[in-house]
Structure 1
Amino acid sequence: MGKKDASGTRLPTIDQYRKQIGKQDYNKSKSSLKATRLRAEAKKNSSGFRDAFLVIAAILFFVLCVYAFFYLNLSTEMDLDVDVD
């Protein structure tokens, strides 16, 4: 008896879900789908430029910090070396 009841109620398959998703995408306008695709491609392509810019900025910041450290240390040592006669 249990088998008869179980065979009567079928769960939706993956193919049915895919069809539902396809119908939803088909109902969207072509312009909105194109805009979404262009935004995704722009985001994907811009990440390389952004990463390169961040690396260069980090290197410049490090060099600036080293320069400031040496400048401050050398400027205070010069003041101590001055002889007052």
Structure 2
Amino acid sequence: MGKKDASSVNLPVDQYRKQIGKQDYKKTKPALRATRLKAEAKRSAPGIKDILLIIVAVLIFLLGIYAFFYLNLSTELNLDSDMD
């Protein structure tokens, strides 16, 4: 008899979840689809931090190549001027 009385009492959390579920069914299918697509696009879109990180990495790489060639050419030019 105690089990029957205990099962009839709903927790406030369960009531809240049921209310949310009822509200969710009131939405139309296109609205639900649009919300889901918007959430997926937000998750899959690259962030600004990712884009900036890639740009900075490419710039550092190019700067390294530029410095390598600059140092190699500048030492060759100094050697040529010392021979005269």
**Both structures adopt the same fold (TM-score exceeding 0.5):** yes
What CA RMSD, in Å, does the superposition of the two structures yield over aligned residues? Answer: 3.4
1:34-66 Cα distance to aligned partner (Å, 9 max, x none): 01112223344455xxx6x88865654443222
Question: Normalising to structure 1: TM-score of the pair?
Answer: 0.55
Q: Which runs of 5+ in 2 are unaligned?
A: 1-10
The answer to whether structure 1 residue 20 and structure 2 residue 45 are counterparts is no
Corresponding pairs, count: 72
Q: Report % sequence identity.
A: 41
Structure 2 Cα separation of the partners of residues 18 and 56 of structure 1: 43
The answer to whether structure 1 residue 74 and structure 2 residue 42 are counterparts is no
**1:70, CA displacement in angstroms?**
0.7
Q: Which runs of 5+ in 1 are unaligned?
A: 1-11
Structure 2 Cα separation of the partners of residues 14 and 55 of structure 1: 43
- Partner letter of residue 39 of structure 1? K
Question: Normalising to structure 2: TM-score of the pair?
Answer: 0.55
Give secondary structure in 1 for the equivalent of 2:81. coil
- Partner letter of residue 83 of structure 1? S
